[in-house]
Amino acid sequence: MSLTAPIAAIGRQTLAFMALIGRAAIFASQGLSHIVRPPFYGREFLVALLQIGWLSLPVVGLTAFFTGGALALQIYDGGARFSAEAVVPQIVAIGMVRELGPVLVGLMIAARVTSSIAAEIATMKVTEQIDALVTLSTHPMKYLTAPRVLAALIVVPLLVGIGDIIGIFGGFVVGTGQLGFNAATYIKNTADFLQFTDILSSLAKGCVFGGIAAMMGCYFGMNSGRGAQGVGQATKGSVQAAAVLILAANFLLTSLFFSS
């Protein structure tokens, strides 16, 4: 075995990864361009709105509520070491709105929606339904990708906003019911502490995360292998890529909004 073999293997993996990024970037640019060009498929868009938005509300709501409650308990316990228990409302609000709300919603969408989109489109490819669309002079990017990405760009920020509210409410329930906070004071401290920049950053993150989740599902579905194994690999790869990209985008957006 050559001494350079491990280095060569690392190099091949690196080149393959960079090629994947390039193909995904080209795919994303093409998908976004199809959003603003006719024809538009309204029915597919409305179905995507329902699947991505309305059907994701239960998991988003439950995740946000329990996270807000757990955050309140953690902050109260940590603040007690420095006699700073009173900061629970403020830290729960800023933690949920700036960071936990958008990231958790993005990851839930990646787990639920990205996997669903990838599996659906990959199955269509395996069963040659995408070839049938081409035969009928229907562009697959226009019919399959553009409606889903547009729906995610619109509805995921709304889910993030709802998740932020429910998460803060979870902290409120725990704070007033278990930690002894006054309800009116808790609400006032929460409202006084949040700024417009916090809310704007949360919604902007939701828009970016939604686009990433839908785009990765479409990309891996369109480029899946044949057979059941190809569908499974596309589904797994789409969720992994979406989760990593969401966390990376979160870091970049946080740096952009709050670097000062």
Report whether 164 contacts 94 (CB < 8 A).
Answer: no
For residue 245, what pLDDT band results from cuts at 50, 70 and 90? very high
Model confidence pLDDT, tens digit, residues 73-119: 988 888 777 777 788 888 899 999 999 999 999 999 999 999 999 99
Q: What is the pTM of this model?
A: 0.89
The answer to whether residue 260 scores a pLDDT higher than 80 is no
Q: Which two tokens stand for residue 77?
A: 């316990």
Model confidence pLDDT, tens digit, residues 197-235: 899 999 999 999 999 999 999 999 988 887 788 888 889
In 3D space, the residue among 37, 104, 31 whose CA is nearest the CA of residue 66 turns out to be: 104
Question: What ranges do the domains of the chain cover?
Answer: 39-255
Report whether 203 contacts 159 (CB < 8 A).
Answer: no
The dihedral sign for the CA sequence 76, 82, 84, 89: negative
